[in-house]
């Protein structure tokens, strides 16, 4: 029976795989066969995650406070689970923020817009450090802490964008 009249065997192909049929090569039998690699099509989820990642990477400087807020949220959750007592150490950072304002204002007294920016930055740092200390001791999802986190995030992001636009 010749190869032209011989019935072909059915090759089972897994779902999603692409098959390429290469005709039998004439000539030397010791020649290596052709190998064709067909990549799979990327899934919609992978495309969406890739697009989201590229957008976040493009706007990474504008979204710096959001990244720090998410990092703080995750870090406070980890510290709550591993070492809840560390919140008392983090609480000193909140006191240092208020102390910074008093020391700077005593050494270099300012009025007007500079004083308003100093008060705003010190209060934002006080709130953020106080939130992290409280979230580390009690847990970041306890009571209204997630709402307070979101409000601090919005305030920090708004201040960041305003400062970056004016300078």
User: 69, exposed or middle or buried, with CB in 10 Å at 0-12, 13-18, 19+?
Assistant: buried
Residue matched to tokens 């705003």: 120
**Beta-carbon contacts of residue 146 (< 8 Å; ≥ 6 apart):** 140
pLDDT tens digits, 50-74: 999 999 999 989 999 999 999 999 9
Per-residue model confidence as pLDDT tens digits over 91-132: 988 888 888 888 998 888 888 888 888 888 898 889 889 999
**Helix (H, G, I), strand (E, B), or coil: what is residue 5?**
coil
Average pLDDT, the chain: 84
């Amino acid at each position: 029976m010749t190869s032209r009249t011989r019935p072909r065997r059915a090759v089972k192909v897994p779902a999603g795989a692409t098959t390429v049929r290469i005709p039998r090569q004439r000539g030397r039998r010791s020649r290596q066969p052709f190998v064709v690699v067909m990549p799979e099509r990327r899934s919609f989820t992978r495309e969406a995650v890739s697009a989201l990642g590229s957008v976040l990477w493009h706007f990474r400087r504008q979204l710096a406070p959001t990244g720090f807020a998410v990092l703080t949220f995750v870090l406070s959750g980890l510290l709550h689970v591993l070492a809840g007592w560390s919140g008392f150490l983090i609480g000193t950072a909140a006191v240092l923020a208020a102390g910074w304002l008093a020391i700077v204002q005593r050494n270099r007294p300012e009025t007007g817009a500079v004083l308003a920016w100093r008060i705003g930055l010190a209060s934002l740092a006080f709130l953020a450090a106080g939130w992290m200390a409280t979230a580390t001791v009690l847990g970041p999802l306890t009571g209204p802490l997630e709402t307070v986190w979101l409000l601090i995030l919005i305030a920090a992001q708004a201040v960041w964008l305003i400062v970056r636009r004016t300078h």
